[in-house]
Structure 1
Amino acid sequence: MELFPTIHTNFWDAVIAVPVVMILTQLLKKFFHIKPVWVPTIALIIGLLISVFISHRGNLLAGLFMGWFYGYAAIGSYAALKTTIIAYKKRKAKRT
């Protein structure tokens, strides 16, 4: 008996799922004017839904584990991208 599920990371996990979560989160934020405090929770829920019902259906533990990965990877990627853009704009404004 395995205590932990065997989870295989594939192309879907690495390249498609996290950007899909980011895009869906941004679309929902734009169209429904969601408060910023709720955006990470929504990204996590979208990640869980995609993982459990699409990419890892049939294995609930793997779906939940990878759903957390999708959601939090999207949150972290968005935060890093936003911080980079803000730093770039500040640096560019400082030079002029």
Structure 2
Amino acid sequence: MNFPIIHTNFWDAVIAIPIIMIITQLFKIIYHTPSKFVPTISLFFGLFISIFISHRHDFFAGIFMGWFYGYAAVGNYAALKCTLISYRNPEK
């Protein structure tokens, strides 16, 4: 079995991940989703965008990159949240 050839480009880092973060936050606000389900929702949106938009010609590449899109969005959100909390409440 050959592994898929995946080309990472501008779309991956600068557009897809922030879009997933925004969509996930809107979903959370509109549907009042509990926090424990947010990573799964982000993964779903990452897979959806990757399979149907950015890697629509290669299903396995879409799954592979969708996994990264979803969890990169979760990681970026967690890092941003921790940074803001730390900035607002500096330890004395």
Q: Give the TM-score, by structure 1 length.
A: 0.92
> Which residue matches 1:33?
32
How many pairs are equivalent? 92
AA aligned to 1:42 is I
Cα distance in structure 1, aligned partners of 2:19 and 2:30: 16
Counterpart secondary structure, 1:70: helix
Cα displacement string for residues 42-89 of structure 1 (whole angstroms, at most 9, x for unaligned residues): 000000000000000010110001000100000000000000001111
Name segments (4+ residues, structure 1) moved above 6 Å: none
How far residue 40 of structure 1 moved from its aligned partner, in angstroms, is: 0.4
Cα distance in structure 2, aligned partners of 1:84 and 1:12: 25
Unaligned ranges ≥5, structure 2: none
Cα displacement string for residues 15-54 of structure 1 (whole angstroms, at most 9, x for unaligned residues): 1000000000000000110000000000000000000000
Unaligned ranges ≥5, structure 1: none
> Which residue matches 1:87?
86
AA aligned to 1:50 is I
How far residue 11 of structure 1 moved from its aligned partner, in angstroms, is: 1.1
Max Rg structure: 1
Identity of aligned residues (%): 61
Alignment of 1:1-96 (within 5 A): 3-91=2-90, 94=91
Cα distance in structure 2, aligned partners of 1:85 and 1:37: 20
Cα distance in structure 2, aligned partners of 1:32 and 1:14: 27
AA aligned to 2:78 is A
Q: Give the TM-score, by structure 2 length.
A: 0.96
